[in-house]
């Protein structure tokens, strides 16, 4: 037995609700290879981010109640990002000339 489609609504159509604006996410560092979020500390009250950086090939750890690694929130503040981004710009500038 096939299901019947629902009957059309009667009366005035309701105005469509405006969806809430999506939360603006921070830019992530383009040199991130992997980011892992896990609970840590007593009773899992702390949060630990493990971030694999492509630039220095190391794993950086950020632990706290609400840690915000610079790789996730604002990569422009990270010295590794600034160095690698500057080197990339130099390489591009050489090829463009």
Q: Where are the domains of the chain?
A: 32-96
pLDDT in tens, 47-65: 888 888 888 888 888 888 8
d(CA 26, CA 46): 21
In angstroms and rounded to an integer, the radius of gyration of the C-alpha atoms of the chain is 24
User: Shortest CA distance to 59 belongs to which of 73, 46, 49?
Assistant: 49
More reliable by pLDDT, 86 or 5: 86
Element (H, E) at 71: helix 70-73
Q: Where does the pLDDT of residue 8 fall: very low under 50, low under 70, confident under 90, or very high at 90 and above?
A: confident
Q: 60, 79 in Cβ contact below 8 A?
A: no
């Amino acid at each position: 037995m096939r299901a019947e489609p629902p009957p059309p609504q009667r009366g005035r159509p309701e105005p469509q609700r405006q969806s809430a604006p999506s939360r603006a996410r921070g830019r992530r560092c383009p040199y991130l290879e992997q980011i892992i979020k896990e609970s840590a500390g007593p009773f899992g009250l702390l949060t630990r981010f493990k971030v694999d950086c492509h630039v220095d090939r190391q794993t950086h750890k950020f632990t706290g109640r609400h840690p915000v690694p610079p790789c996730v929130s604002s990569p422009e503040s990270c010295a590794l990002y600034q160095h690698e981004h500057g080197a990339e710009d130099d390489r591009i500038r050489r090829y463009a000339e």
